[in-house]
Amino acid sequence: MASAPSKLYQDDVSLVVALLDTNPFFWAAASLPFSEFLHHVIPFINSLLLLNQLNRVVLIATGTSSCGYIFDSGDGNASGNSNAVCSGIIKKLEDFVGKDSKIGKGSNGDGTRPAISSLLSGSLSLALCYIQRIFRSGTRHPQPRILCLQGSPDGPEQYVAVMNSIFSAQRLMIPIDSCIVGAQHSAFLQQASYITGGVYLKPQQLDGLFQFLAAVFATDLHSRNFLRLPKPAGVDFRASCFCHKKTIDMGYVCSVCLSIFCKYHKKCSTCGSEFNQAAPDSTIPDQKH
Amino acid sequence: MPQVRIVARNFMDMVAALPAAKLDKLYDSSFICEAVLRSLPPLAKKYVLQMLFLDSPLTAKSMEEWVLPDGLSKHKVAIDRLLQLRVFMEVNDRKKEPSYKMNQKFQSNMQKYLTTGGTVPREPMPLNAAVRLPSVGELETYAMEQWECFLLQLINSSQVDKSTSFSSSMMRAFQRGLLNSSRDNEAPRLTENGFQFLLMETNAQLWYIIREYISSAEERGMDPTDLISFLLELSFHTLGEAYSVNTLTEVQRLAIKDLADLGLVKYLQGRKEGLFMPTKLATNLSVSLSDASSRKEGFVVVETNFRMYAYSTSRLHCEILRLFSRIEYQLPNLIVGAITKESLYNAFENGITAEQIVSFLQQNAHPRVAEKMPSVPENVTDQIRLWEADRNRVEMTPSHLYEDFPSKDLFEACCDFARDYGCLLWQDTKKMRLIVKGELHQQMRDFLRGQR
């Protein structure tokens, strides 16, 4: 899907909102240590800022129970010495992870169920709100896109929120690119990139991460029409049911609001419409046998 | 339609035209590498990033696989540009396939930038209470004033209150191509290129002047390479900070005075030494031509009844608007005019195209109307284009009509003769009539006499 042409601006200028996965449970067990990961991401951000004087980069951290803004290159103080900026980013990340784990412990009581998935829906919403603010700031703005650097597995309980964000991005014509640094594919992000026209990539070698990022994700939206970019082999379109948040292949769909359920319900929980059809249950004798 | 158009050529074309040894020397400075990178077409930038950390050369064929088939032309443009600027070097290996490698110095400078980040070329002066530094707003007005004064002097020396300190030979060098004296005792008139120059964006005009300045630098004893590197470095300074003149070399000190006249820097006298402060015009130097951030506030409102209101006090704006509209009256802060058929025909006579007029109006639209889509009413833009097309309705070619041929063979022979020279415009075989371009008339007569 083509991206929205920005009004009266050069083709090349872009605004990249990068969502970094900071789930400590994932990074503790990952093959690439988090510091190494940052060593790839920060030069990538520098390269984005190098390509054009007017490019802007925003970093949002995706935690287990919260999300937060880490870095915005549009701030006045960000144009100083890069070492200071870099250590600023690292310090903010550490603060964020500390706060996030405190919130996680608090809501879980005594930490009975450690969360293994990160709050993708939260950071997608933060990114979309930021971009919407940019859109409203005037006629001239850069072309925005979202880059998700995700490692943790998908949490099916976030299905509805993530799909809503994806559809908002589609309406605003903001491509969502995804780069998976974890072990398994992410169905949510595959769907996100497919629907919004972004690029989905799972690099085979993580020590060359910078090269993958620079080769695939650094190009501006206009040039993407001319480049051969990686396409996923197939998109996992499985949904989660609204009642138990399990991933299902077959289920019941409300004909009014299209919510998905795994078991038969008399009334749709989202829109409240009643289902008249009699329940298919095992009391109806099967004629053949 | 004008045949010749000023191509507001990018500074980088001039850089690319430098000899190889000088270009390599330029790449010692990481600022020049950054500026060159930023000026490349978008596809070329991507290639540079991709090749940045690769040590071995990559074959041209494998690079072509990076693009889709309809992107091949852009791919070629990008690769040509990279080779021209010697960012990519061709390496011939034993298989005789061309492959490309990145310029060593460029590569190491950029790698350093990515891992440690950019720096400033020189440290700004510490805040000194004795000298009052102008604010950013004051700097902008200063820059605009200087630039306008310079432009006014460029197009018409008699109209200026205070002139810049450029020598008359320098001014003549700038004016070359833009003005010409039609007759000796008359004042010089603007040429077609001159009109187009006036309607260009400030950044584009600035590049044009700087190009001329650097081309004439050798005659004045300044090394163009030094000038180029100084100008590119200037764009990386921070706006609003003062820098000491003592950190400049001789060549740069000479150049600073000229740049101050153009409005690129403001020259101040500090307590012990001279200071200079770069203005917005300078910091936007490394950005490419079509960028919007260097644009100043628009001032023109065009209404659907073809009336035009320009909120400006500048004489330069008045002159520019006079090029294609009829100025009705001028108030202390407002110029009122109308776009009429006569005024537009006048402009078209002088070689200005409708596109240039429309883009000038759109780019300089007042902020109140700039938000609307479209910023200039469609009926006005359509009408301007229609009036231009009016002039192209009929195309005239001087020609001759031949009729009353005695025989068909003679007629056919004449047709072939004319067709061989590419001058046959029209023929009517039934009535045996022929129209041939006027320039062939003499030869046609000789041919006919020879046939008889």
- pLDDT at residue B294, as a whole number: 43
Kindly report which listed range (A83-87, A106-110, B332-336) carries the lowest average pLDDT score: A106-110
Statement: residue B110 has pLDDT above 70: yes
Distance (Å, rounded) from C-alpha A170 to C-alpha A173? Answer: 5
Average pLDDT over residues B230-236: 77
- B53: tokens are 């950390």
* Cβ–Cβ pairs < 8 A, chains A and B: 87
Q: Which residue has the higher pLDDT, B41 or B220?
A: B41
Mean pLDDT to the nearest integer, B103-123: 76
Q: Which chain A residues are closer than 8 Å to B71 by Cβ?
A: 225-227
Question: Does B402 score more than 70 pLDDT?
Answer: yes
Q: How confident is the model at residue B158 (pLDDT cuts 50, 70, 90)?
A: low
Query: A130 is written with which tokens?
Result: 């930021």
Q: Which residues of A touch B289 (CB under 8 A)?
A: none
Chain-chain contact of A218 with B75 (C-beta, under 8 angstroms): no
What pLDDT score was predicted for residue B128?
Answer: 57
- Residue in A83, A139, A211 nearest the CB of B117: A83
**Residues in chain B within 8 Å Cβ distance of A214:** 49-50, 52
How confident is the model over B110-120, as a mean pLDDT? 75
Residue B387's pLDDT band (cuts 50, 70, 90): very high
Residue with tokens 């980040």, as numbered in its chain: B117
Residue pLDDT, tens place only, B260-293: 777 777 877 766 777 778 787 777 766 544 344 4
| Amino acid B26: pLDDT | 80
pLDDT above 80 for B340? yes
Question: Is A228 part of the contact surface with chain B (CB cutoff 8 Å)?
Answer: yes
Distance from CA of A219 to the nearest CA of B (A): 6
Is residue B150 scored above 50 in pLDDT? yes
- Percent of chain B at pLDDT exceeding 90: 9
pLDDT in tens, A166-175: 999 999 999 9
Mean pLDDT to the nearest integer, B389-408: 85
Question: Closest approach of chain B CAs to the CA of A139, in angstroms?
Answer: 6
The phi, psi pair for A191, rounded to 5°, reads: -65, -40
Q: What is the pLDDT of residues B275-284, one digit of tens each?
A: 778 787 777 7
Closest residue in B to A82 (Cα) is B117
Kindly report whether the global pTM for this prediction surpasses the value 0.80.
Answer: no
The confidence score (pLDDT) of residue B142 equals 83
Rounded average pLDDT over A229-250: 80
Largest CA distance in chain A: 80
Q: Residue A169 in contact with residue A128, Cβ under 8 Å?
A: yes
Euclidean distance between CA atoms A181 and A117, whole angstroms: 14
Mean pLDDT of chain B: 78
Residue B293 confidence (pLDDT): 42
Q: What is the largest CA-CA distance in chain B?
A: 100
Cross-chain residue pair A54–B49, CB shorter than 8 Å? no
A10 to B38: CB separation less than 8 angstroms, yes or no: no
- The answer, yes or no, to whether residue A289 has pLDDT greater than 50, is no
Q: Compute the average pLDDT of residues B119-133.
A: 63
- Yes or no, beta carbons of B42 and A8 under 8 Å apart: no
Whether the predicted pLDDT of A165 surpasses 90: yes
Q: How confident is the model at residue B7 (pLDDT cuts 50, 70, 90)?
A: very low
What letter does residue B295 receive in the DSSP assignment?
Answer: -
Question: Where is pLDDT greater, at B154 or B126?
Answer: B154
